[in-house]
Amino acid sequence: MKIVILDAYTVDQGELTWDGLKELADVETYERTAPEEVVARCKGAEMVLTNKVVLDASVLNMLPRLQYIGVLATGYNVVDLEVASRQNIVVTNIPAYSTESVAQMVFCHLLNIVSRADHYANENRKGKWTASPDFCYLDHDLFELYGKKMGIIGLGNTGMATARIATGFGLQVLAYTSKDEEDLPYDIMKADIDTIFEQCDIVSLHCPLTESTRNLVNAERLEMMKSSAILINTGRGPLVEDAAVAEALNNDQIAAYAADVLTTEPAPADNPLLKAKNCYLTPHIAWATREARQRLINICTENVRAYLDGEPINQVN
């Protein structure tokens, strides 16, 4: 059995190994694969692993030997599931491997915004503290999280992990979720989405990207928010309208936007968020702690093992 990994570098970064997988099959690894290279590289393989390389109908129809696709991520929109199912190709994903890492990034962004640690560290490198006439200096307002309201849109694994951290900071947590209120922890209050955008000091997005959630945060929703509110997106880029958020920031309609994801990645040079006021972007790295990437490889290996044993797990089609 032959396995082809199309974009291994996104996961291993040259520092982690696929040794467990190599014990199960013949593994051929590519750091990156361009669209025009996909078919040729997959031609002789029964199993293919991909993170972001697209396996659409035009590709799948040219791979009659293919039996299994392992998506090296939680989201699996890079695979045409309908065609895969029609061709009896099993498709699996990697659920919940980066939950704690993503929740950690939410608070990395949030704490940077309210405490300005990065700003002050950079100013001190320029000598500002050394030149200060006082033992400290304040050139930005600092804010305490305790007692403020945090709204969480989507209460799956990462949403719940974020809520748990939020309560530890003394934040009041409101959640927009399909879960019944009686099933929520006592310190999380269920709320409708408009209430969250109108009342919360912080809104954090953790819902999946569907047709109903695409552009969930648009000009209309941004108008509902407090001018002091902070919006955080570690979910999916298209949950927000980039241009609308940029305009809201530049007009002081909201206080700050922090995101680890954009509608198009890598970020196009003309994305208005790159130059918007009080906009803090990280390059889709919330998932990418060493621990989370190792966990991803481990789960991938178990997915392949289960498939070879005739009992697939984490199957999405």
Instruction: Assess if residue 21 is contained within a domain.
Output: yes
Q: What is the pLDDT of residue 116?
A: 95
Q: What is the CATH number of the domain that holds 143?
A: 3.40.50.720
Q: What is the enclosing helix (H) or strand (E) of 165?
A: helix 157-168
How many C-beta atoms surround the C-beta of residue 172 within 10 A?
A: 18
Instruction: State whether 34 and 85 are in the same domain.
Output: yes
Instruction: Provide the residue count of the chain.
Output: 317
Instruction: Give this prediction's pTM.
Output: 0.92
Instruction: State whether 276 and 167 are in the same domain.
Output: yes
Instruction: Assess if residue 115 is contained within a domain.
Output: yes
Instruction: State whether 163 and 29 are in the same domain.
Output: no
What's the mean pLDDT when you consider all of the chain?
97
Q: What is the pLDDT of residue 265?
A: 95
Q: Which domain range does residue 152 map to?
A: 99-281
The C-alpha angle with vertex 11 and arms to 9 and 6, in degrees rounded to 5, equals 55
SS3 303: helix
Instruction: State whether 115 and 43 are in the same domain.
Output: no
State the catalytic residue, choosing from 116, 221, 284, 295. Answer: 284
Instruction: State whether 90 and 150 are in the same domain.
Output: no
Torsional class of 203: left (φ above 0), alpha (ψ -120 to 50), beta (otherwise): beta
- Interhelix angle 99-115/117-125, nearest 10 degrees: 60
Q: State yes or no: is 236 an active-site residue.
A: yes
Q: Which residues of the chain have pLDDT under 50?
A: none
Instruction: Assess if residue 313 is contained within a domain.
Output: no
Closest listed residue to residue 76, CA positions, set 59, 57, 58, 92: 92
Closest listed residue to residue 48, CA positions, set 95, 6, 78, 87: 6
Instruction: State whether 173 and 86 are in the same domain.
Output: no
Q: State yes or no: is 295 an active-site residue.
A: no
Q: What is the pLDDT of residue 73?
A: 95
State the catalytic residue, choosing from 82, 181, 265, 291. Answer: 265
State the catalytic residue, choosing from 236, 241, 293, 295. Answer: 236
Residue 249 phi/psi, 5° resolution?
A: -65, -50
CA atoms within 13 A on the CB side of 190: 9
Tell me the C-alpha distance between 301 and 306, whole Å: 9
Q: What is the pLDDT of residue 285?
A: 97
Tell me the C-alpha distance between 300 and 27, whole Å: 13
Instruction: Assess if residue 316 is contained within a domain.
Output: no
C-beta of residue 30 within 8 angstroms of C-beta of residue 41: yes
Instruction: Assess if residue 314 is contained within a domain.
Output: no
Give how many domains the chain has, as a whole number: 2
Instruction: State whether 30 and 111 are in the same domain.
Output: no
Residues 152-176 have pLDDT tens digits of 999 999 999 999 999 999 999 999 9
Instruction: State whether 263 and 199 are in the same domain.
Output: yes
Q: What is the pLDDT of residue 291?
A: 98
Instruction: State whether 182 and 265 are in the same domain.
Output: yes
